[in-house]
């Protein structure tokens, strides 16, 4: 029907409206199809390519799949289609570079890969290829620059790059080249160092990297240094561990570090270690009403196998005395608490034990003697523990304070101090 309101010579309006409606539908269809193609490009590139035959992501993914299947001609045909339509599509250039490498044309592969890296600097596969090529050409600086670029953009790729970076870091020459990249402003550097200090072998390589970082003014963080100290302990490298304790705590491994229980240093193997337990509270750096600083252990009338306050010692062979101060407040338990020194890893009798602490007393001194044997006892652990023989003797209530702990070497001619021997 023709519009009744038309003036003479005026064209009907409905064809114009219809054209606009059709155009809108066409545009909507195009948007929907293109958008759906984008959605399918990752999970289903075949369907995405049917919807949009020039979709760069979908076609490039199909090219990559063809390359992996050994269909080099098909891969090149697909990648070239995208490279012509999208000259700066780096992933297509990367496929072409990989295909050139498969065909034995190393120079063309390098040119295409470098072009791919310029077009898509965040493409991990391209940067990794260039890093490996730089290594094959003994250009470690260029390889590290490539890996650093990848890791800055995508720290999650560290899992893939760690074996290569770890090998570089474990080599004296490679470690020196790597150190400038391990600065705190790089998020991936902390992740790498945490894993490297936990896993790298030999441990001496980790120690070397730690020294290089310290010399560069970018020392490892507490978690990383703690990992390294723990590894020395687990490996039983007592000489290295003794030197490390001296270096990091400023105190010898033959003395009580942090005698007044301030909690410094924080690393458990350098000072006091506190385990995880229920039924008690261990408060380092506490002060009682007299102003004496020390540790307070509060027990809440529960059965607890308490042996969770300890310190590692590396004492030489011979006789020693361990001394300290104690205050008790209504400490109720069938037998009591006591300090015990044992060889690390040893299952034999304790080297020495303090008196059994029980009841209520003001601050007073205590001491006990011990002897470190010549063999099979390179390190020892001093532990505060409940002296329980059966479960019922683990019931504890009340509190105990300790302060002023120390170790004294005794000469063979010296008088044995028998104070504080166990009942």
The gap from C-alpha 304 to its chain's centroid, in whole angstroms, comes to: 32
Q: What is the pLDDT of residue 42?
A: 47
Name the band, by pLDDT with cuts 50, 70 and 90, for residue 210.
Answer: very high
Q: Are the C-beta atoms of residues 357 and 398 closer than 8 Å to each other?
A: no
Give pTM, 2 decimals: 0.70
Domain CATH for 84: 1.25.40.10
For residue 81, is it within any domain? yes
* Mean pLDDT of the 146-155 span: 89
H or E element in which residue 383 lies: strand 380-386
Q: Of 6 and 272, which is predicted with more confidence?
A: 272
For residue 372, is it within any domain? yes
Q: What is the pLDDT of residue 363?
A: 96
Closest by CA to 99, choosing from 123, 60, 72, is 72
* Mean pLDDT of the 150-165 span: 89
Q: What is the pLDDT of residue 27?
A: 40
For residue 367, is it within any domain? yes
Q: Of 165 and 34, which is predicted with more confidence?
A: 165
Structural domains in the chain (count): 2
Name the band, by pLDDT with cuts 50, 70 and 90, for residue 412.
Answer: low
pLDDT tens readout for residues 344-353: 986 678 999 9
For residue 192, is it within any domain? no
**List of residues 6+ apart from 217 with CB closer than 8 A:** none
Domain final residue pick, 68, 85, 120? 120
* Residue 376 to residues 373, 379, 380, 386, 410, Cα–Cα distance (Å): 7, 9, 11, 26, 21
Q: Of 341 and 47, which is predicted with more confidence?
A: 341
Domain that holds residue 84: 13-120
For residue 188, is it within any domain? no
- Cis peptide bond prior to 265, omega within 30° of 0: yes
**Residue 170 CB coordination number (10 Å):** 18
For residue 140, is it within any domain? no
Q: What is d(CA 17, CA 168) in angstroms, rounded to the nearest whole number?
A: 70
Domain CATH for 360: 2.60.120.260
pLDDT tens readout for residues 97-149: 888 888 888 888 888 888 888 888 878 888 888 888 888 888 999 999 989 98
């Amino acid at each position: 029907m023709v519009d009744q309101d038309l003036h003479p010579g005026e064209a009907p309006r409905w064809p114009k409206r219809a054209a606009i409606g059709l155009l809108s539908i066409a545009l909507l269809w195009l948007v929907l199809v293109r958008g759906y193609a984008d959605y399918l490009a990752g999970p289903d590139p075949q369907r995405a390519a049917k919807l949009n035959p020039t979709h760069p992501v979908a076609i490039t993914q199909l090219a990559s799949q063809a390359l992996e299947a050994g269909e080099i001609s098909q891969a090149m045909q697909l990648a070239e289609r995208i490279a012509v339509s999208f000259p700066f599509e780096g992933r297509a250039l990367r496929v072409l570079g990989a295909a050139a490498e498969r065909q034995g044309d190393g120079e063309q592969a390098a040119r295409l890969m470098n072009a791919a890296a310029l077009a898509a600097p965040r493409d991990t596969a391209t940067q990794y290829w260039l890093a490996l090529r730089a290594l094959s050409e003994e250009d470690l600086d260029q390889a590290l620059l490539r890996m650093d670029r990848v890791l800055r953009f995508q720290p999650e790729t560290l899992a893939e790059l760690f074996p290569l970076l770890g090998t570089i870091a474990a080599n004296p020459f490679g470690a020196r080249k790597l150190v400038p990249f391990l600065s705190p402003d790089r998020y991936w550097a902390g992740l790498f160092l945490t894993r490297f200090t936990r896993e790298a072998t030999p441990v001496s390589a980790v120690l070397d990297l730690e020294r290089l970082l310290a010399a560069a003014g970018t020392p490892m963080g507490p978690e990383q240094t703690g990992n390294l100290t723990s590894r020395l302990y687990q490996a039983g490298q007592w000489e290295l561990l003794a030197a490390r304790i001296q270096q990091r705590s400023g105190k010898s491994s033959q003395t009580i570090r942090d005698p007044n229980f301030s909690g410094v240093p924080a690393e458990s193997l350098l000072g006091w270690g506190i385990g995880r337990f229920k039924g008690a509270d261990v408060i380092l750096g506490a002060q009682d009403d007299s102003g004496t600083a020390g540790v307070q252990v509060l027990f809440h009338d529960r059965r607890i196998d308490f042996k969770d306050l300890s310190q590692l010692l590396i004492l030489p062979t011979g006789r020693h005395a361990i001394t300290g101060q104690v205050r008790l407040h209504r400490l109720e338990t069938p037998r009591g608490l006591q300090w015990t020194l044992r060889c690390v890893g040893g299952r034999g009798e304790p080297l020495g034990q303090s008196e059994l602490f029980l009841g209520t007393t003001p601050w007073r001194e205590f001491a006990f003697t011990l002897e470190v044997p010549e063999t099979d006892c390179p390190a020892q652990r001093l532990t505060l523990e409940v002296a329980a023989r059966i479960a019922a003797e683990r019931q504890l209530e009340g509190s105990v304070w300790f302060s002023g702990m120390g170790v004294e070497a005794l000469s063979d001619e010296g008088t044995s101090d028998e104070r504080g021997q166990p009942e």
